[in-house]
Amino acid sequence: MVAVMAKKVLVTEKLAEAGLDILRSKGYEVDVLLELDPEGLVDAIPAYDALIVRSATKVTREVIEAAANLRVIGRAGVGIDNVDVEAATERGVIVCNAPTSNIVSAAEQTMCLMLACARKTPQAVASMKDGKWERSKFSGTELFEKTLAIFGLGRVGGLVAERARAFGMNLIGYDPYCSPERAEQLGVELYDNVDDIVPLADFITVHLPKTKETIGMFGPAQYAAMKDGVILVNTARGGIYNIESLADFVAAGKIGGAAIDVYEAEPCTESPLHEFDNVILTPHLGASTKEAQTRAGIQIAEYVSAGLEGSIVPTAVNMALVPPEIMDAVGPYVPACQLMGSMLAQIDGDIPQYLKLTAAGSLAGADPSILVAGTLGGILSYKNVAVTPVNAEAVAKRHGIKVETQSRPDAQGYASAVSVVADGTEISCTLADTAQVPRIVSLFGYQIDIAPASQSLIFEYVDAPGKIGTIGTILGSAGINITTMQVGMKEKEKNALVYMNVEGDVDDAIMGKLREGLGELKNLWYVKL
């Protein structure tokens, strides 16, 4: 028997021990190499199945093309600017991040900087340490009843809105992707364009991604239209505020203060803003809390593990986004599809040329690529082929499998189900109870209802009295225990299907006795999951 090698994970930047422990507990071989230069990463990466980075490691096309075994790239944080996502997608490599890991820390950093800027706290601290007592010089302003404009009402922007509302601030916002219902829930009055909202704000904070539209979003025209004394905060992405023109408006006294935590080029040790006492500059500390780092490590470890196992990766940035309500329904079916794929591989013995997957009931309308990837992963598991939603289509083509998918609102009495037909062999599965255990509900057209165990025997024969007793006698004599069993019938054909979960290895000798003892036996399979 050929030993299965443990999958290898390379971590190139500091990751919380809790995350490393998760990976190791799942049986992965984890190497933490913190001093790799670009050439060293290219040399090392061919040996690894997964790569975990933070913001410093540049995962270039050269790195990805050298990574013969790479299946997943995990970014322990939010931004993926340092990963060539296009190159990864071309190679079928999942790129995922941990977008919720630091949202609380980033929101708190925003409030911290807003308060520090409004109350001139850093300047007062510096004055005190110089041995001075200058109370009148550092008179500030309250947040209470001031108007805060929030640009970007996603995860972080929403948390900032909740916290600012607790300070009694009036909230206005701009986000073309935010629904009126969400804005109302957050207590934010939504505006359709930047020019309308800019003149109304006493404070402005941005929580936007780095895109062509957002870089330089605030420049001379926007600064000129702002209220005198406005305070600006940025804990999102460098470059959203045009720094050169911002410095001009700070120098002129138009802008009362600014607090910047992120920069276009980092590390940033000099800029036009460095000379101003009323500008707070911090070295990208939004995610720098113990809690955020632990959360990032744990989340990315779970997502990378899911990718290596062929399961759904909810934060994959190079897959079609799946709405949360669909994700909740589809996600648990991925292991069920892997199970069905593995059974099909053992029943048929060959790679199918045709595969049809039907998502029924509440799964109708879900992205079928997630389910197809799980099924293909099961079918090809004995070949040690990693299948992900990113590369499922390419894997199918490479193995000569034509894949079709369809949806059906009727799940034949179940809330949801997935049916797979591979070269005419049919199997259907649903999920049962709160544990969402996969249950086979149809096999070869026989209606059954059973949760497969790690070892099963499947019999198909012409029905006659005494068959079950014969099976039980043969297995009992061999010390094989029957744990659960289901019988399905085909009335017109007088055939029966018996699906039997067993404990104890069934060797060739026992299989021979079963074939001999059952007489008109059409098929017999021993399935191990």
pLDDT band per the 50, 70, 90 thresholds, residue 384:
low
pLDDT of residue 290: 93
**Has 284 been annotated as catalytic?**
yes
**Has 266 been annotated as catalytic?**
yes
pLDDT band per the 50, 70, 90 thresholds, residue 249:
very high
* Distance (Å, whole) CA 402 – CA 407: 17
Helix or strand (DSSP H, E) at 218: none
* Sequence ranges of the domains in the chain: 8-100+291-308, 103-281, 321-443, 453-529
pLDDT by residue (tens digit) across 157-201? 999 999 999 999 999 999 998 989 999 999 999 999 999 999 999
Topology of domain 103-281 in CATH is Rossmann fold (3.40.50)
Give the single-character DSSP code of 47: G
User: With contact defined as beta carbons under 8 Å apart, do 192 and 215 qualify?
Assistant: no
* C-alpha torsion angle, residues 145, 151, 154, 158 (rounded to 10): -10
Same CATH topology for 103-281 and 453-529: the answer is: no
Determine if the pTM surpasses 0.75. no
pLDDT of residue 210: 85
Higher pLDDT, 6 or 320: 6
Q: CATH assignment of 453-529?
A: 3.30.70.260
pLDDT of residue 324: 55
Candidate from 151-155, 318-322, 346-350, 380-384 with smallest mean pLDDT: 318-322
Domain spanning 321-443, CATH class: alpha beta
Quote the percentage of the chain above a pLDDT of 70. Answer: 96
Structure tokens at 442: 């149809």
Mean pLDDT, rounded, for 298-322: 82
pLDDT band per the 50, 70, 90 thresholds, residue 1:
very low
Peptide bond into 465 cis (omega under 30): no
The closest alpha carbon to 306, from 10, 23, 6, 82, belongs to: 23
**Has 274 been annotated as catalytic?**
no
Place of tokens 């068959």: 467
Judged on CB neighbours under 10 Å (0-12, 13-18, 19+), 512 is exposed
Mean pLDDT, rounded, for 501-516: 92
Give the Å distances, CA to CA, from 518 to 233, 317, 499, 522: 78, 54, 15, 10
pLDDT of residue 386: 67
In the predicted structure, residue 121 carries a pLDDT above the cut 70: yes
User: With contact defined as beta carbons under 8 Å apart, do 206 and 114 qualify?
Assistant: no
pLDDT of residue 377: 86
pLDDT by residue (tens digit) across 446-485? 999 999 999 999 999 988 888 999 999 999 999 999 999 9
In the predicted structure, residue 3 carries a pLDDT above the cut 50: no
β-pairing, 437-443 vs 425-432, is antiparallel
In the predicted structure, residue 296 carries a pLDDT above the cut 80: yes
Catalytic residue among 155, 284, 399, 408, which?
Answer: 284
pLDDT of residue 99: 86
In the predicted structure, residue 117 carries a pLDDT above the cut 80: yes
pLDDT of residue 2: 40
Catalytic residue among 142, 244, 266, 503, which?
Answer: 266
pLDDT band per the 50, 70, 90 thresholds, residue 109:
very high
Task: Give the SS3 label for residue 41.
Answer: helix
In the predicted structure, residue 80 carries a pLDDT above the cut 90: no
* CB-CB neighbours of 528 under 10 Å: 12
Give the amino acid at 97: N
User: With contact defined as beta carbons under 8 Å apart, do 224 and 254 qualify?
Assistant: yes
Mean pLDDT, rounded, for 258-263: 97
Give the Å distances, CA to CA, from 392 to 32, 72, 359, 413, 502: 30, 14, 17, 30, 33
Higher pLDDT, 149 or 433: 149
In the predicted structure, residue 244 carries a pLDDT above the cut 90: yes
Mean pLDDT, rounded, for 75-89: 89
In the predicted structure, residue 388 carries a pLDDT above the cut 80: no
Q: CATH assignment of 8-100+291-308?
A: 3.40.50.720
In the predicted structure, residue 69 carries a pLDDT above the cut 70: yes
pLDDT by residue (tens digit) across 272-281? 999 999 999 9
User: With contact defined as beta carbons under 8 Å apart, do 51 and 59 qualify?
Assistant: yes
CB within 8 A of 186, min separation 6: which ones? 153, 158, 161, 162, 165, 171, 173
Higher pLDDT, 395 or 469: 469
Catalytic residue among 71, 75, 237, 439, which?
Answer: 237
Give the chain's mean pLDDT: 91
